[in-house]
Structure formats: C-alpha cells, structure tokens
Amino acid sequence: MSDIWHAFSSNIYTMFRQSWTESVRLKSQPFDSMFSSFPKKPWFYLICHCDRRFITTFIRLRSGHCLTKAFLNRMGMVDSPSCDCGSIQTIEHLLT
C-alpha cells in the first residue's frame, strides 16, 4: 500500500509542479518574483518551521473559525452567540 501511495503522491506532485510552473509563467509575475521555483516546503515554512497542526490552529484563531458560540451561531448550530456572562462569545472574548 505504501508503494502505491508513494507512486500516487509522486505523480500528483509532478503534475502539480508542472501546472504551477506553467501558471506562474503565464499570469503571476509578482508570485514568480517571490518563488522562482516550485517550493518543496509548504508556504508557512517561510514564516516559521511549525508543523501543519500548529498553523491550522493559529489560522483558525486569527480568522475566528473556532468553536465559539459566535461562530456556531453564524453557522446556525446554536440559537444565541452569547456567552454565559452575556457578551458575544468570540475568540477575543474568551482570551481576554
């Protein structure tokens, strides 16, 4: 199974690299100046050498896409965005 997965992921990587290179050449000059070749590491590796789980959590906190009542209310999953104290339960409210 791992041989099949390795062949599959290698093929996907090659196809994506070709598509990316062509796309950059045709329409993304500013992006081309940032990345002159296809990056082997994920974009967040330029910022820090964090793992994907950390970056995912960080982005969810920054974007407010967390399991707060404000977000759950926006998604229609709870009736009220209010915290037990009466304020709107956002991530800022929970952290301050």
**95 lies in the site for Zn ion, by CB under 5 A:** no
Residue of 63, 62, 65, 83 lying closest to 74 (CA atoms): 65
28-87: contacts with Zn ion (CB under 5 A): 83, 85, 87
1 touches Zn ion (CB under 5 A): no
The least distance separating Zn ion from the CB of residue 54, rounded to whole angstroms, comes to: 26
**Residue 82's beta-bridge partner residues?**
88
Query: Which lies closer to Zn ion via its Cβ, residue 73 or residue 87?
Result: 87
Q: How far is the CB of 28 from Zn ion (least distance, A)?
A: 44
Q: Please, which residue, 55 or 72, has the CB nearer to Zn ion?
A: 72
Helix (H, G, I), strand (E, B) or coil at 89: coil
| Backbone region of residue 64 per phi and psi (left: phi > 0; alpha: psi in -120 to 50; beta: other values) | left
